[in-house]
Amino acid sequence: MDSWHGRGGHVAGPYLLRVAQGLMYKEFGKGTLAWAANIGGYRLGPAMATERIQRITEANETLLSFIPIWEEHRHQPDIADLAFGNPQEMVIDGFSSALASATTPRDKNHYAYKFSEDESRHTVASHLTNWRGQQFEAEDIAMTPGAFGAIASALGALVDVGDEVVYFDPPWFFYRSMILSVGAIPVSVPVRSDDYDLDLDRLAGVITEKTRLVIVNTPHNPTGRIYPPSTLEGLATVLSEASDRFGAPIFLLSDEPYSKLVFSNAEFTSPALHYPHTLISYSYGKILLTPGQRIGWLALSPLMPDREALRSAIFMAQIAGGWLFPSAIMQYSLEKLDRLSIDLVELERKRDLFVDELRHAGYELQPPEGTFYLWVRSPDPNDVAFVQLLAKQGVLLLPGSTCASPGHFRISLTGTAEMIERSLPVFRKAIPSDA
């Protein structure tokens, strides 16, 4: 028990809490103050949090400040909750029965500690080989609790304290936290503002000899952009040249949880086809719309040289990271789950409806090529104020500030058709007539 005071938490903890409360209070109003005290403050106890967790809390300030607004409104009748990629209707047919069929124990080991089971690794490797046109090996697949677990395993295996990890803005909101959690330094690079493609010149400009990993997310949350082969080729060139210059490979983590959520006018290509030192993270939580049932994988590109050592490092990172393996039930139902999907035709219908209606009303947006999100320029540069305005009128959105991109908001197409219909007049009314 020597550590609480040694960490300086007795000073920084209450200070941080007061700062966070002050900021939240200023930005979002009274509801937030109570919430911050309840979740961020008293439960952790001011002197108990590590400095690392304090930094992570700070990194999530805007997101955490939005949660009380969402909580305040999301249970109201007739709310159109379009904020997060959560299900708003009953789970797809076949999901529960697939899980149920995996509950009957096959033998005494059914519910023993699970690693990456051979059968689920083989299912993933053969599925990937058919889908991606690359020969994936079962040994190169680590089964994980979703893409979250895959990213944590990759960071644990590859990144040391003080290493730099690069990702693109606007990011999925937890990259920064996860990088900080392994003691590494997050470095962000904005995507191009005109077409949301990767800005490779800027990427080249931030790579240093400390850069160990670059994270690319395609199809991209929140913009819906899928990076074309020409961009991926350019990305591979930047990374190969920098690796040669610094005498060590820079790894690429291609975060691809939405790679099956691709609209009919687009095509998905993985960076793993272009750059040998690529790891791919995936989650079934998106295509099945069951983010609470944790299963996904981390795959090594079949092009990666000398990857046996990395296989073992990932295995150790999964154990040391807190047993980052999915449960027996999730792994044994995988073959059945692999054949299921949410209704992609209906998803595309919702996208098209929103894109037409919002553009017609005067909003600026680019149609997403994949994911279940729409990324829209906020008519009020203060996106938080805009989101609050719409929340009061029954429509919940995610402010772009939560993804380090003020002046935008994100719509989730996981809302029901009725929610989307109800939201349209609210969107129309909210835009100034001269916009």
Would you list the DSSP string of 101-148? HT-S-SSTTTTS---S-HHHHHHHHHHHHHHHSS---GGGEEEESHHH
List the strands of the sheet with 141-144, edge to edge: 141-144, 296-300, 278-283, 251-255, 211-217, 164-169, 185-190
From the list 175, 140, 179, 174, the residue with the least C-alpha distance to 159 is 179
Least distance from C-beta 410 to ligand PLP, angstroms? 11
Binding status of residue 271 toward ligand PLP by CB under 6 A: no
Binding status of residue 123 toward ligand PLP by CB under 6 A: no
Binding status of residue 255 toward ligand PLP by CB under 6 A: yes
Site string for ligand PLP, 218-247 (x = CB under 6 A): ---x--------------------------
Find the part of the chain contacting ligand PLP (CB under 6 A) among 109-117, 143-151, 200-208, 400-408.
143-151
Of 53 and 63, nearer to ligand PLP (C-beta) is 63
Binding status of residue 378 toward ligand PLP by CB under 6 A: no
Q: Please, are residues 269 and 298 in contact by the beta-carbon 8 Å criterion?
A: no
Using the 8-state DSSP alphabet, how is residue 434 labeled? T
Of 41 and 370, nearer to ligand PLP (C-beta) is 370
Which H or E run contains 432?
Answer: none
Binding status of residue 296 toward ligand PLP by CB under 6 A: yes
- Torsion over CA: 84, 88, 94, 98 (sign): positive
Least distance from C-beta 361 to ligand PLP, angstroms? 27
Least distance from C-beta 173 to ligand PLP, angstroms? 8
Of 41 and 296, nearer to ligand PLP (C-beta) is 296
Binding status of residue 400 toward ligand PLP by CB under 6 A: no
Of 237 and 341, nearer to ligand PLP (C-beta) is 341
The terminus-to-terminus CA distance of the chain in angstroms comes to 60
Q: Which of residues 148-167 bind ligand PLP (CB under 6 A)?
A: 148
Q: How many residues does the chain have?
A: 435
Cα 257 to Cα 166, 183, 267: the distances in Å are 19, 25, 15
Q: Tell me the residue nearest to ligand PLP as measured from the CB.
A: 146
Binding status of residue 285 toward ligand PLP by CB under 6 A: yes
Binding status of residue 257 toward ligand PLP by CB under 6 A: yes
| Cα–Cα distance measured from residue 120 to residue 118, given in angstroms and rounded to the nearest whole number | 6
Binding status of residue 60 toward ligand PLP by CB under 6 A: no
Of 41 and 149, nearer to ligand PLP (C-beta) is 149
Among 85, 156, 234, 302, binds ligand PLP (CB under 6 A): 85
Least distance from C-beta 370 to ligand PLP, angstroms? 11
Binding status of residue 326 toward ligand PLP by CB under 6 A: no
From the list 75, 71, 135, 170, the residue with the least C-alpha distance to 301 is 135
Binding status of residue 59 toward ligand PLP by CB under 6 A: no
From the list 162, 169, 259, the residue with the least C-alpha distance to 208 is 162
| Cα–Cα distance measured from residue 222 to residue 172, given in angstroms and rounded to the nearest whole number | 7
| Cα–Cα distance measured from residue 313 to residue 317, given in angstroms and rounded to the nearest whole number | 6
Q: Which residues contact 306 (CB under 8 A, 6 or more apart)?
A: none
From the list 267, 3, 297, 368, the residue with the least C-alpha distance to 153 is 297
Binding status of residue 146 toward ligand PLP by CB under 6 A: yes
Least distance from C-beta 41 to ligand PLP, angstroms? 26
Of 153 and 423, nearer to ligand PLP (C-beta) is 153
Q: Please, are residues 40 and 57 in contact by the beta-carbon 8 Å criterion?
A: yes
Binding status of residue 283 toward ligand PLP by CB under 6 A: yes
From the list 79, 59, 73, the residue with the least C-alpha distance to 401 is 59
Find the part of the chain contacting ligand PLP (CB under 6 A) among 7-15, 123-131, 145-153, 423-431.
145-153
Least distance from C-beta 295 to ligand PLP, angstroms? 9
Binding status of residue 172 toward ligand PLP by CB under 6 A: yes
Find the part of the chain contacting ligand PLP (CB under 6 A) among 28-36, 144-152, 237-245, 259-267.
144-152
Q: Please, are residues 267 and 259 in contact by the beta-carbon 8 Å criterion?
A: no
Using the 8-state DSSP alphabet, how is residue 84 labeled? S
Residues that bind ligand PLP (CB under 6 A): 85, 146-148, 172, 217, 221, 255, 257, 283, 285, 291, 296
